[in-house]
Amino acid sequence: MRRNRPKMKIGHFIVIQTVILVILFSLSVVVLKEKKINDEKTRAASINEIKVDLTMEDLAKADTKEMTKDSEIDKTADSSKEKQTLENSEIEQAAEAEIKEIEHTEIEDTDHTDIDNNSEVGEVLNDNETKDNDTRYEQVDARVKEIMDTMTIYEKVCQLFFVYPEAITDVSPTTTAGKTTKTAIAEYPVGGILYESMNLITGEQTTEMISNIQSFSKIPLFIASDEEGGIVARVMKSLGTTHIDSMYYYKDDGNETAYKNANQMATDIASFGFNLDFAPVCDVWSNPDNTVIGKRAYSDDFKQAAELITYAIEGFHDGGVLCTLKHFPGHGDTAEDSHYGSAYVSKSLDELRQEEFLPFEVGIASGADMVMMGHLIVTDVDDLPATLSYKITTDILRKELGYDGVIVTDSLSMQALTKYYSSSDIAVKAFEAGADLLLCPRSLNDSINAIMNAVSSAEISEKYLDESVKRILTLKVKSGIIDY
Catalytic hit among 141, 301, 337, 339: 339
Q: For residue 40, what are the contacts with CB-CB under 8 A and spacing of at least 6?
A: 122, 125, 126, 129
Q: Identify which of 365, 197, 374 has the alpha carbon closest to the alpha carbon of residue 296.
A: 374
Return the beta strands (E) in 58-211 as ranges. Answer: 161-163, 192-194
Q: What angle do CA 79, 81, 87 make, to 5 degrees?
A: 70
Task: Please spell the DSSP secondary structure of 147-187, one letter per residue.
Answer: HHTT--HHHHHHHTEEE-THHHH--SS----SHHHHHHHHH
3-state class of 371 per DSSP? strand
Q: Is 331 a catalytic residue?
A: no
86 close to 76: Cβ distance less than 8 angstroms: no
Phi, psi at residue 16, to the nearest 5°? -65, -45
* β-pairing verdict for 232-233 and 227-229: antiparallel
d(CA 30, CA 118): 13
The single residue of 111, 277, 410, 436 carrying the catalytic annotation is: 410
DSSP string, 214-261: HHH-SSPPEEEE-EEETTEEHHHHHH-------GGGGTTS-HHHHHHH
- Catalytic site includes residue 350: no
Judge contact between 322 and 290, C-beta under 8 A.
no
Backbone angles phi, psi at 299, to 5 degrees: -165, 170
Residue 437 per-residue DSSP state = B
- Is the distance from CB of 304 to CB of 287 less than 8 angstroms? no
* Angstrom distance (rounded) from CA 80 to CA 66: 19
**How far is Cα 307 from Cα 192, in angstroms, rounded to an integer?**
30
Pick from 407, 359, 355: nearest CA to 386: 407
Residue 311 contacts residue 385 (beta carbons within 8 Å): no
- Cα–Cα dist 402/408, whole Å: 16
Q: Going by C-beta distance under 8 Å and a sequence separation of 6 or more, which residues neighbour residue 99?
A: 15, 18, 19, 22
Q: Which residues carry out catalysis? A: 339, 410
